[in-house]
A and B are shown apart, each in its own frame.
Chain A
Amino acid sequence: MKLAEVLEALSLAVDDPEMLDIEVEGGYCSDLLSDVMAKAAAGSIWVTNQAHPNVVAVASLIDAAAVIVAGGVQPEEGTVNKAQELGIPLFSTDLSAFDVVGRLYELGVRGSLRNG
């Protein structure tokens, strides 16, 4: 599924239209960085309430399709800058993590774990 479809379901807009074409292969939801690092599959959309710059470093390391910061948490400036620098699509929403995941699930996005 394309990121465009996911963003539409969450009523989110992008600055960079190239991002719309990114393939979302699954999803992962966690606020523990080491847990995401160990378990989330590449191509996942990552839903979290964390909004500090290390989130972007982890998203880049796991080849996340995008990061959704949920619960009305505003990403720090350092986070936004790092996302631009590393080319990670980063969005924030007032929806709770529960509601974000619910909408994604309704769309057909499923949880995806790394093999091994």
Chain B
Amino acid sequence: MPDVRDVGALMSVTYDIAARDFVRAGEAANKLKRLLQQLGLDPAVIRRAAIAAYEAEMNIVIHSYGGQIKVDITPESIEIFCEDSGPGIPDIEKALQEGYSTASEEIREMGFGAGMGLPNIQKSADKFRIESAVGRGTCLQVTILHEAGE
């Protein structure tokens, strides 16, 4: 595939994510997906990156006061770094459990708050790291390898 390996360069893009903006929510993930398609990456890899970026973006929109998603595309992998300022996550182990959500009733009515986002990110990732400081914010690092067995 004619991907970044041929270019031999590292690409980096950064997307600003606004809290509570449900009209623009999902734009960053869509822009990233289009970029990865232009690079000719494998559709299964693109889908996994799209899932991770979308869920991270929505968590910033819904649960934080705003943040950024930075993506590095290297010859080996797609690295997604997310950082937000916000309330943080008091119990990360709990937050990673499928079905756990603190989303409000109003947010659930929109079809969010199934407690699937973080588990989906984990399933899509070859490497996954999350750090959070209560009252300050949350950081997420996701690695998706170009050549990984699912």
Contact = CB atoms under 8 A, between A and B. Distances in A.
A58 B112 CA distance: 12
A61 B50 contact: yes
Interface string A24-60: 0000000111110110001000001010111111101
B22 A34 contact: no
A54 B30 contact: no
A56 B23 CA distance: 10
Contacts of B114: 32-35
B47 to A, nearest CB: 7
B30 A86 contact: yes
A102 interface: no
A92 B25 CA distance: 22
B67 to A, nearest CB: 17
B29 to A, nearest CB: 6
A58 B47 CA distance: 11
B51 A37 contact: yes
Contacts of B89: none
A58 B116 contact: no
Interface in B1-59: 22-23, 25-27, 29-30, 33, 43-44, 47, 50-51, 54-55, 58
A114 interface: yes
Contacts of B123: 38
A54 B116 contact: no
B55 A52 contact: no
A93 to B, nearest CB: 18
Nearest to B115: A34
Contacts of B116: 32, 34-35, 38
A82 interface: yes
26 contacts: A32-B111, A32-B112, A32-B114, A33-B58, A33-B112, A34-B116, A34-B120, A35-B114, A37-B50, A38-B120, A38-B123, A53-B22, A53-B25, A54-B22, A54-B58, A54-B111, A55-B111, A57-B26, A57-B30, A58-B54, A60-B30, A61-B26, A61-B50, A61-B51, A61-B54, A114-B47
Closest 7 CB pairs of A and B: A57-B26, A34-B116, A116-B150, A32-B114, A33-B111, A61-B50, A38-B120
Given A34-B114, A61-B29, 18 more contacts: A32-B111, A33-B110, A33-B112, A34-B58, A38-B120, A38-B123, A52-B22, A53-B23, A54-B58, A57-B54, A58-B26, A58-B54, A61-B30, A86-B30, A114-B47, A115-B44, A116-B44, A116-B150
